[in-house]
Structure 1
Amino acid sequence: MKISSGLTLALTALLPALTSVVASDVIDLAEDTFKGEVYGEDLALVEFFAPWCGHCKNLAPHYEEAATELQKKGIKLAKVDCTEQANLCQEYGVNGYPTLKVFRNGTPTDYTGPRKADGIISYMIKQSLPAVSDVTPDSHAEFIKSDKVVLVAYGDASHPIPTAYSEYANVARDSYLFGQFTDSSLPSLPSLPESPSLPVIVLYKSFDEGYSILPSSDLSSLDVSQLTEFVKTNSVPLFDEISPENFGTYAEQGLPIAYLFADPAESSSRDKLVEELKSTAKELKGKINFVHIDAIKFVDHGKSLNLPGDNWPAFVIQDLAAQTKYPLQNEAVSAKSVKAFLEKFVAGEIQPSIKSAPIPAKQDEPVYKLVADDWENVFGDLEKDVFAEFFAPWCGHCQRLAPIWDTLAEKYASNSNILIAQMDATENDIPPAAPFKVQGFPTLKFRAAGSSEFIDYNGDRSLDSLVEFVETHRKSSGGEGAAGGAEVDEEVWEDEEAPEHDEL
């Protein structure tokens, strides 16, 4: 049979795509093949995905690259299409895409690592090793360069490695590589004498000076908290560029982040300022992490930190744990002004910046419009029961709750002792004095009259359930509000988590 030239061209064009599918190192799993492929493996990573999921599409090339590299080390990467294998995905508790799970001989645990190729590779290699690997003279040189941060403890029979080292390794194995060297012939160690006093712990890193040392003088009573602090202080660069790829590392540190926002087109002046600030960064090492960031690309992140978004360079400190931010305002950014600002911050002399929408000139709607500047006025009035919704305009669940919340407010409109309020959490910061942080939208909090305690509402969001909750927890005097308001379409749904900043 003769094939037309057009068909030949079409097949030729399709061939590369077909070849890439055939050549994939990611294993496609179904219900009848899952156990056979996964349960017999010491270690495997499985992605549960949906073809329409944008995050899954973004992950795909990184997952493929990681599969090819990890195949060389005997680690399988597989995937399950949940639109075709619904029962399998339900069996493993998949309720979002992509969900990644690490399997050890068939037992799953949640994957908590990065979603870029190098991060997946690094995470799974750590998972494949014992918490502490034995390092030999032959493997030493390769081992200390096998990840961005590698810890090696050196000791011998007379000078044993502290037990806190292995205890910490078991806790932090997902983040760092740990080795122990107990051979009588020590390798050449950086900045140590040829015969150092043992034991000693060295943190090797692919940045800054290349290593940090916890010498034997500090090891006699070493505990996990001391080792944790040593690693926290030394495992991130002194002054690095922050991006989506490494933001999680800084977040896990638990330290405030000092941002220098700069226009990349002005890189020479930025680099000069970074160099001038490095001495300050060294002084505050272990207390504050310093980063610089592309102000143009991540302008929205700057605005979320209460920077104006149109004047660079800019400087701001973010305390993730306290959810507070401290922008340097009303003066030019220079090494001198930043140093003075940081000194005041460390001394506790600077108040956090609280973003607030204007206080409404009048409150003529059933739902009270709460803003940050009006917080004390609302919650300082202990004679009222207050039920507040914290929402984001883009949140679909908030949009569906809106008519129900309006109806709830209408129901209690005639009762001046019950206030149904809402705050746009994208336009207002929760004041630091508040005893809670908003982690997802919508968040519903009830403060009873005469109390300073905030009660979480976690029930379904039907009007009847919300009214029942108010009536159960209210402490103010006065009868239930007069029934009223239109019928609403009542639904039950899960909380919608607040997204991380689009940029980071």
Structure 2
Amino acid sequence: MVLTVMGLSTPGQAEITSLDSANIDDVLSKTLYFTHYVSEHKRFEIQMLHPIFEEASNIVREEFPDTKQVVFARVDCDQHSDIAQRYRITKYPTLKLFRNGMMMKREYRGQRSVTAIADFIRQQQVDPVKEVLTVEEFNALDRSKRNIIGYFEKKDADNYRTYEKVANILRDDCTFLAAFGAVSEHERFSGDNMIYRPAGEGAPDMVFLGSLTNFDLAYAWTQDKCVPLVREITFENGEELTEEGLPFLILFHVKEDTQSLEKFQQEVARQLISEKGSINFLHADCDKFRHPLLHIQKTPADCPVVAIDSFRHMYVFPEFKDVSVPGKLRQFVLDLHSGKLHREFHHGPDPTESTPGQQSPGELLPKLAPSETRYTILSRDRDEL
């Protein structure tokens, strides 16, 4: 595990690893890293955090003397802007957790104190896999959660090590369980395997058909099951989603309106699966987000409403009923990437595509001077929200 702090490197007695472009990939491949990202522009805040970070490192090193298990690291983003860009670091100081070379999507948001940081690392050392000791326990699983269950002949084997590695990375997204020996025998007729048991009573299990020795394949399959294609955005997780660095395609719907959500999910899967790495697909409660709706001239009475939040502007999809028109939702997203939505936001519809009686997404929004600040769904003015 790597805990990395991005920022200025200052001398200290603690063993803080300095990361740069030459060593970062090798260093982050270790088990657990906590990384501190810093910048000259935030000197005061970073100098305040440095002794806390170093003291926490000393405490953790004493509790976990195997340095391959937990490493604290630091990156000076003024000197290594390529690293800041690679991991989408835009504010300083930032604390990020890495496991087996992969950055965890949730940055550290706890108190900037020695005790809090040390406790966070202790929590990360807890085994995310719960061992199932009896067959009866399978019948008592919490079906309100997404469960991944592994069936193994023994724990000391490559198959289980792969499973444990996947569980450590996705511990916040799924519940991981494992059964060994006689308890798992009834599910090991073709060897060690794992299944996904979705949330909801009666939902059928899904079986992993690949090799458990292939980490990349096992991780990709599990992530697909544990992280929904369309996620809910709330005021609690909004900042975390923003840190993923992708614009939002959002369905605003009344909470009880599951039909529009199902329709949106189907069309995203049908039209936009290839765009998964370029935009986040989200849904939001109209009542909770009524103020952002007002800023795009909508109210909960207008829901369902689909919009894109680019973090600069919000663009409205003209009519929700048209999401099922083949290719139309996809074109809306492609128009974001091409810059068309931004251009039409400021200047109206492109002259060559203007059709009498039609409105472009830009026409649905007020025409403000280019220098004016526009409201996005995650405006930090929480009093207004």
Bigger radius of gyration, 1 or 2?
1
The structure showing larger relative contact order (alpha-carbon pairs under 8 Å, at least 6 residues apart) is: 2
